[in-house]
Structure formats: structure tokens, C-alpha cells
Chain A
Amino acid sequence: MLAFIIRRILQSFAVMAVVAFIAFALFNFTGDPVTFMVGQDATQEERARLRSDLGLDLPFYVQFGRFVGRAIQGDFGLSLRQGRKVSTLLKERLPATLELAFVAAVLALVLGVPAGVYTALRRDSWLSQLLLAISLIGVSLPTFLIGILLILVFAVVLGWLPSFGRGDTVALGWWTTGFLTKSGLKALILPAITLSLFQMTLIMRLVRAEMLEVLRTDYIKFARARGLTDRTVHFGHALKNTLVPVITITGLQLGAIIAFAIITETVFQWPGMGLLFIQAVSFADVPVMAAYLCFIALVFVLINLIVDLLYYAVDPRLRIERLAAAQ
């Protein structure tokens, strides 16, 4: 088990190094930040000097080497746009993104799993048909459109919820939370729904398909033959056995929620890391982009690790095989 974890962590570092390397190779095409770091009246000479002082005229692998050298020491440098530490910027924006992703993930699970189970068990009821129809919208409409529609209905027409931003936040040490204020909670609703809708429908459809699959298997028939109640059969036997793929997908999707919160954050001007990244891209702010991409890679790697460990908890066969192999 320990060897497994260590192996995975080593692999993770390799993955992150590759991500950073590819990112740096791409930065060559994102443009020249110096254009935006000085105003229109700065002379060509000043621009050239700034560029060479920043090392932007070096080949990308040299820039990459410098970046890795500093990153290992935990130094991501200063944002070219804001002149502030990249680590501080990410730390400031992290709570907003994580809170949004957390609420979206909880929404997706809490609504997605029961809906999936229901549509599998009551295949022909009108509610199932309705849920499936809605889920089709959820998968097919792009996120920004859903966001704009929600803003139009709930902020502009009805005026119930704020159209943008995070509301008031409360600082708990370096962490800022919107969970403790009324305006913070209200501001969370629309972006969380927007972000979770796709995941929700995905989970619902996945649970439904898996349930239908499992309900056809022999051991369910035997369970019924034993005279167990529907409740025990459905939730004790069937649902439990659908969970392995659901956990995999949900785990990976959690990473996706954090990484692809970019669009939702842009539509709702949600002050998270995605918005920071978008601003960095439109400025070619290399240190911020590099640090963000490494962070997202780290998130995916960690989630994968956790998902692998969860398999052990859920699926007893894995434990037994391991033991058998060890002996």
C-alpha cells in the first residue's frame, strides 16, 4: 500500500513536469507581455531592455529551466501584470474557486445520484422522462449560455439574486468564505448551479445506466428470490455495485470542475483562479499562467490518487487480490 502511494506520487511529479514543459513551449505563442507592461510612449530601447532583463528573449527551455529551479524552492516569481507574488495571488483566489467547486460538486452528487436511481427504477414514469429531458439540455447547452440565461431570469427579470461577484466575504485567517454572509450565499447559487449542471446530468445518466446494468445481473435475481425487500435489493445490492465507476467519474469530474470553472467564473465575474488565469492569458502573464497550470495538474494528480485509494475501500476484490499477490 505504502509502496503503491510512493510510486503514484513519483509518477505525479513526472506528470507535473511534463505539463509545465508543454505549457512553457506554448507560452512562446501567447505573445509578448512587455507590450502591456509599458504604456504607448515607452521607447523601443526601454522595451528591449525590459524584455532582456526579464529573460523573455531566451529560448523557452532556458526559461523553463529557470522556472523549475525557482518553483522547486517554492518561488513562482512576481506577476508581470500586477507586480505581486504569484503565490499570494493564487492563495487569494483559491478559496473562491474551491468553495464554488465544492458546492457545485455536492449539488451534482446530491441531486445526480438520486435522480439516476429514480430514473433507473421507475423507467416509465413521467418524472423520469422529464428528468431525462432536462438532463439532455444540461449536457448539450454550453456553460456560458446556461449562466447567461440564469442571470437573465433570476437577476434581471426576477431580481432575486445578484448578477455577478461573490457578495460579502468573511476572512478566517487567510481563507475568505462566502458561506457566512447572506449576500455571499445568495451570490453562490447561480454560479454553483451553472457549474454543476453538466456534472449533475453526467452523474445521473451514469448512475442510471449502471443501475440498469446491475439490475439485470443474476445476484439481483437471487436477492429477490431470497425475498429481500425492494429497498434492500436496490440500495444494499444494486446501488453499492454501481459505485465504482461513479466514484471514478465523479473524482475526475471534481478536477474538471475546479479546472473548468474558468467559464463560469468569467460569466459571473467570480473572483476565483479561473478568472485570474483568463486575465493572465490576455496579458501573456507567464508566471501566473505557469503556476496555475501546475496547480491544476497537481489537483488532477491528487484526485486520481484519492480515487485509486477509494477503490480499495469500496471494492473488496481489490484488497483480496493484492493480498493474494503478496503471498
Chain B
Amino acid sequence: MSPTVRRTLKALLALVLAGGLAAATHAATYKFADQGDATSMDPHSLNESLQLSLLGNIYEPLVGRGKKLELVPLLATSWKQTEPTVWRFNLRRNVKFHDGTPFTVDDVIFSYERSKVDGSDMKTKIATVKEMRKIDDYTVDFVTNDPFPILPDTLNTWFIMSKAWCEKNNATAPVDVRKGKENAATLRANGTGPFMLKSREPGVRTVFVQNPAYWEKVESNVTEAIFTPIKNDATRVAALISGDIDMMEPVPLQDIEKLKAAPALNVLQGPELRTIFLGMDQSRDELLFSNVKGKNPFKDRRVRQAFYQAIDIEAIKSRIMRGAATPTNLMIAPGIRGFDPALNKRLPHDTAAAKKLMVDAGYPDGFEVGMNCPNDRYVNDAAICQAIAAMLAQIGVKVNLMAETKVTYFPKILSRNTSFYMLGWTPDSYDAQNAIFALLMTPAANGQGLFNLGSYSNKRVDELGKAIASELDQTKRNAMIAELFKIHGDEFGTLPLHQQALAWAAKKSIQLVQLADNTNQLKWTIVK
């Protein structure tokens, strides 16, 4: 057969196949909106969920997540631990970047080096990796400092860039604002993913087109996807109702019922992986913001328990969250590895018992305490804090609430300039260890306890936390996680509140897969 004939036959075959598929799906344009925008198209520049969710359509990790958040092979086809400190990844063959260059082990090692430099926010993702060894063109070894059993779980937002493209475009490092030089990777992108970046106008519009040369058949019939950030809640809702966009998130809580009632619209709700909780300063000998002098009431477990039992979490759920929350007793959400439903039972809300605990602790008349709270970070954050202040008033605690914008809130609480604060946390690795390390262990220089802003400290928790990080046996590991949460729960080291619900809204003709980590993958989006 001559090459021309072969090509014609191929084209014919493709046509027939396409015709067959067209019966099920048709090429479609899909418009979606969010309240914010990615700050850059550079996958190593910022470790933030919306940015990584958008870029996850263009770039791919070695190991990704499926529709149930299970691990799925993407750029790696298989992986195994060859030694306690070595993970071997076999890479997928015949994968091409959007510019046509083939994907090889060199790109993985390049991305590793690129993630380590100043300006990269992915340093922590690969912090445990000491070096990468090229075995052959399609095999790479990750050598870790300590045994790290959950390494593959932590890689799903660590994206691989093309070495050749970055070198050609002078983008071998993410933009470093300190050096004052712009970078091609901020506005352009060249990944291996199912979608390619067609155009990018920051804050205005980002257009994706489907990658015809993707290594796998894509489920989605979306040929072009247009993303627009719409900051104003009312405008975003109006844009969906008027049909200017096909999908948007988040839905403001007060509009959920209205949108559910609209005949052409669907609201998708599900629990998010983020846990909202309150923390208390348990290290200073005297609280910074309180009328109790010479001692710190939060050092007394009974006071912390009294606070816990004074909070009516069901009232917060029904009145403030309008049902869109899952009360929790654990610092991690269902869906995070290590979550144990048996431990997730809250002590009852009991004002009388709380009052008694306060009397036992020597505060029959309560005390005054300052509370810090953001007002634009979590769903109805300030309203929750106000409600809690009112509930604590019933046990004699006068809360001086300071609710402010996240821009001023986080610098304040990160410098531990607080007595009583609110925080939300999603473990990046979908594993309890990340939350334990950041929130529960005693603060230390290596980043341990970085967000343990009340400096809760328990030796056994620290020991268990360390052991959990390198334990290879899953059963033993789960037992240790359970023990740790039991200790922390019995001590009321923090006051867990709830997991807020995700709320997306879309036209009924749009079929979406909502993941609990709030990523929205175009490859699973179908326009009917």
C-alpha cells in the first residue's frame, strides 16, 4: 500500500469512528466561572487549590487522582518501593507535550530541579526527596531522606514541565518577583494534559482547547473551554441564570435553594476535605488578650472542654451554614486516609456541663478573651465566630471578637499574635500525616507545627507523628493515627467544628464530576 492510500484509509476510518461517536456526544464549548483566578500559568509558582485545579487540565503529574480520589497512573504507569528509601516510577511511553516534544525521564528530573529553586512554591512537595536517579529513559528512582511510604499520594499536584520548552523559552525557573524579571511560563503553558492553553488574559479570560494528540481517549466532548473569574457573588449567579456561563462555583449559601428550584439548573453539593476548627493559645503563661492575669486558662483541659461543650454545632450547621456543613470531631475529613468514623463522635452540646467544668477549673464567673477570625476566607466564617461568641457568653465567657479580612488576619495569627483563632485545613496529600505534622505536633524549625498556632504540645503525639511519617505497614500506621487522634481529642487540643460543603451550580445539560478536593477536571465534563 502506498503511503497516500494508507493515509486516506486512516482518515476514512477516523471519519467513520468520529461519526459513530457523534451519536453519543458532539463537540461543544463550555464556559465556567469561579470567584477568583489563577495567579499564573506556571505550575510551580503557587501551591493553591484553584490554580492547581485549572492547571491540572494542561499539565499532568506522575500519579493523579481518579473520580473517587483514588490513585491513578498518569505520566507514570506503575511505581513501587524498591528499598525503604527508594521509590521507582516507570514512565508512560509515547507521550508528547503540546509542542510535540516527547516526554522522557529528563523532564521529570528537570521539573524536580525547577521545583527546588527560589520562586518555586513546590519545595515542600518534594522536600522529602533527596535526589532523583535516572535509570533509563523511562525509569526514575526517587531517593528519600527517610522512608516515605505515602510518596505517590503526595504527587498529584506536582506537575511535569518540558525541559526543552522551558530552556527554549527562558523559563527554567518560576518567576521570582524578587529578581523583577518576567517569565514566559507565567502566561503560556506547554504540558502533556488533555487540554491545551489557547489564550490567557489574567483576570479576564482563559481559553482551553482539547488536545487532539492526548495519550488516552478523553471522555469529555468539550472542544473549547472558556474560564472567567467573576468576583461578585450576585453577578456570578446572574451570569449562570441568564445562560452566559454553563457552570460556576462557589454558590453563595443564600442562593442555593433558589438555584435548586430553577428548572434548567443543577446544584452539586458535597463535603469538602477542609476541616474548620478553633485553636487556643496553650503555651504562653499569660494570654495576650484576656483579663485573666498571671495564668493561662487555656492550659487547663477543663476550660478547653467547657468551650467545646458550650458550642452548639448543630445550630451552627442549620442556622448559619443552612445545612451545608458536616459537623466533625476529628481534625481530618472523611476521604482523608487515616479518618476513623469510630473516633468522629462529638461530645454532646451541654451548657450545664460546660458551666460545671468552668466552676471546677476555678472560673465560676468566666473570663474575657479576645478571638481572631477571618471574614472572607471560609464560608460564613465571621458569622460562625459571632455565634460561638454568643454561645460562650452562656458559660460566662465574654469573647471580644475581632473579625477582619484574610489579608490582615493571616499575618497576625501566623506570628502567633492571638489567644483564640479560627483556621481551616486541607491535607495536601489526602493523608492524615500532613494535618498532624502541620497542626498537631509541637512547633519546630523544620516546619513541624507551623500552623499549630496555639502551640499545643504533647510528647506522645510528637512521637506518634514522627513514626506515622515513616511507617510502612498500613495497619500499624492506622492504629498509630487513631491513637494520636484519641489523645488529642481527649485533651481538646483544638476545637474541631465542621467540614463546609462544596457548592457548584451548572446547567442541567452539563455533566460534572465533583471531587472533594474541589478540583474541576475538564476531561470528565460532558455537555449534553
Give the interface of A toward B (CB within 8 A). Answer: 29-32, 34-47, 50, 53-54, 77-85, 88-89, 92, 148, 151-152, 155-156, 159, 162-166, 266-269, 271, 275-276, 278-279, 281-284
Q: A162 to B180, alpha carbons, bound, how many Å?
A: 38
A83 in contact with B40 (CB, 8 Å): yes
B447 in contact with A41 (CB, 8 Å): yes
Closest 7 CB pairs of A and B: A39-B47, A31-B407, A83-B175, A32-B411, A41-B124, A43-B447, A271-B204
Q: A45 to B447, alpha carbons, bound, how many Å?
A: 8
Give the interface of B toward A (CB within 8 A). Answer: 39-40, 42, 45-48, 121, 123-125, 174-175, 177-178, 180-183, 186-187, 201-205, 228-232, 234-236, 238-239, 241-244, 376, 405-411, 414, 425, 428, 434, 438, 445-447, 450-451
Which residue of B46, B202, B447 contacts A84 across the interface (Cβ within 8 Å)? B202
Which residue of A29, A83, A269 contacts B39 across the interface (Cβ within 8 Å)? A83
B239 in contact with A164 (CB, 8 Å): yes
Contacts of A159 in B (CB 8 A): 242-243
Which residue of B46, B241, B407, B450 contacts A284 across the interface (Cβ within 8 Å)? B407
- Minimum CB distance partner of B122 in chain A: A39
What are 26 A-B contacts defined by CB distance under 8 Å? A31-B405, A31-B407, A34-B411, A35-B407, A37-B121, A40-B438, A42-B121, A82-B202, A83-B39, A83-B45, A84-B186, A84-B187, A92-B201, A148-B238, A156-B241, A163-B235, A163-B239, A163-B244, A164-B236, A164-B239, A164-B244, A267-B232, A269-B228, A275-B231, A279-B203, A279-B231
- Minimum CB distance partner of B124 in chain A: A41
- Minimum CB distance partner of A266 in chain B: B232
Which residue of A43, A53, A85, A88 contacts B450 across the interface (Cβ within 8 Å)? A43
Contacts of B201 in A (CB 8 A): 92, 271
Contacts of A163 in B (CB 8 A): 235, 238-239, 242, 244
Q: A152 to B241, alpha carbons, bound, how many Å?
A: 10
User: Closest Cβ of chain B: how far from A273's Cβ, in Å?
Assistant: 11
Which residue of B48, B123, B235, B408 contacts A29 across the interface (Cβ within 8 Å)? B408
A31 in contact with B408 (CB, 8 Å): yes
Contacts of B446 in A (CB 8 A): 43
User: Closest Cβ of chain B: how far from A249's Cβ, in Å?
Assistant: 30
Q: A164-B230, A271-B204 are in contact. Are A42 and B405 (CB under 8 A)?
A: no
User: Closest Cβ of chain B: how far from A275's Cβ, in Å?
Assistant: 7
A151 in contact with B238 (CB, 8 Å): yes
A78 in contact with B244 (CB, 8 Å): no
Q: A42-B121, A164-B239 are in contact. Are A30 and B39 (CB under 8 A)?
A: no
User: Closest Cβ of chain A: how far from B361's Cβ, in Å?
Assistant: 32
Q: A44-B450, A269-B228 are in contact. Are A39 and B203 (CB under 8 A)?
A: no
A269 in contact with B235 (CB, 8 Å): yes
User: Closest Cβ of chain B: how far from A278's Cβ, in Å?
Assistant: 7
B203 in contact with A77 (CB, 8 Å): no
- Minimum CB distance partner of B47 in chain A: A39
Q: A30-B408, A37-B177, A41-B124 are in contact. Are A269 and B450 (CB under 8 A)?
A: no
Q: A31-B411, A46-B123, A282-B405 are in contact. Are A38 and B47 (CB under 8 A)?
A: yes
B235 in contact with A268 (CB, 8 Å): yes
A85 in contact with B238 (CB, 8 Å): no
Contacts of A283 in B (CB 8 A): 407
Which residue of B46, B180, B376 contacts A39 across the interface (Cβ within 8 Å)? B46
User: Closest Cβ of chain A: how far from B444's Cβ, in Å?
Assistant: 10
Q: A39-B46, A39-B47, A78-B175 are in contact. Are A269 and B230 (CB under 8 A)?
A: yes
Q: A80 to B186, alpha carbons, bound, how many Å?
A: 13
Further 14 A-B residue pairs, CB within 8 A, beyond A35-B414, A41-B124, A50-B178: A31-B408, A34-B411, A40-B438, A42-B124, A43-B446, A47-B414, A83-B42, A84-B182, A148-B235, A152-B238, A155-B238, A266-B231, A269-B235, A282-B376
Q: A50-B178, A78-B180, A164-B228 are in contact. Are A267 and B235 (CB under 8 A)?
A: yes
A82 in contact with B121 (CB, 8 Å): no
Q: A208 to B228, alpha carbons, bound, how many Å?
A: 43
User: Closest Cβ of chain B: how far from A283's Cβ, in Å?
Assistant: 7
Q: A81 to B174, alpha carbons, bound, how many Å?
A: 13
User: Closest Cβ of chain B: how far from A1's Cβ, in Å?
Assistant: 42
Contacts of A92 in B (CB 8 A): 201
Q: A33 to B513, alpha carbons, bound, how many Å?
A: 33
Contacts of B203 in A (CB 8 A): 271, 275-276, 279
- Minimum CB distance partner of B175 in chain A: A83
Contacts of A267 in B (CB 8 A): 232, 234-235
Contacts of B174 in A (CB 8 A): 83
Contacts of B438 in A (CB 8 A): 40-41
Q: A50 to B181, alpha carbons, bound, how many Å?
A: 16
Contacts of A31 in B (CB 8 A): 405-411
User: Closest Cβ of chain B: how far from A89's Cβ, in Å?
Assistant: 8
A269 in contact with B45 (CB, 8 Å): no
User: Closest Cβ of chain B: how far from A176's Cβ, in Å?
Assistant: 9
B183 in contact with A83 (CB, 8 Å): yes
Which residue of B180, B228, B235, B451 contacts A40 across the interface (Cβ within 8 Å)? B451
Which residue of B183, B241, B244, B410 contacts A35 across the interface (Cβ within 8 Å)? B410
User: Closest Cβ of chain A: how far from B450's Cβ, in Å?
Assistant: 6
Q: A94 to B446, alpha carbons, bound, how many Å?
A: 45
A78 in contact with B177 (CB, 8 Å): yes
B244 in contact with A155 (CB, 8 Å): yes
Contacts of B406 in A (CB 8 A): 31, 35, 282
Contacts of A46 in B (CB 8 A): 123
Q: A32 to B393, alpha carbons, bound, how many Å?
A: 33
Contacts of B451 in A (CB 8 A): 40
A39 in contact with B48 (CB, 8 Å): yes
Q: A39-B121, A268-B235 are in contact. Are A54 and B411 (CB under 8 A)?
A: no
Which residue of A54, A156, A279, A281 contacts B177 across the interface (Cβ within 8 Å)? A54
Contacts of B243 in A (CB 8 A): 159
Which residue of A45, A53, A166, A281 contacts B204 across the interface (Cβ within 8 Å)? A166
Contacts of A35 in B (CB 8 A): 406-407, 410-411, 414
User: Closest Cβ of chain B: how far from A3's Cβ, in Å?
Assistant: 40
Q: A81 to B37, alpha carbons, bound, how many Å?
A: 11
Which residue of A39, A41, A42, A156 contacts B238 across the interface (Cβ within 8 Å)? A156
Q: A43 to B437, alpha carbons, bound, how many Å?
A: 12
Contacts of B428 in A (CB 8 A): 40-41
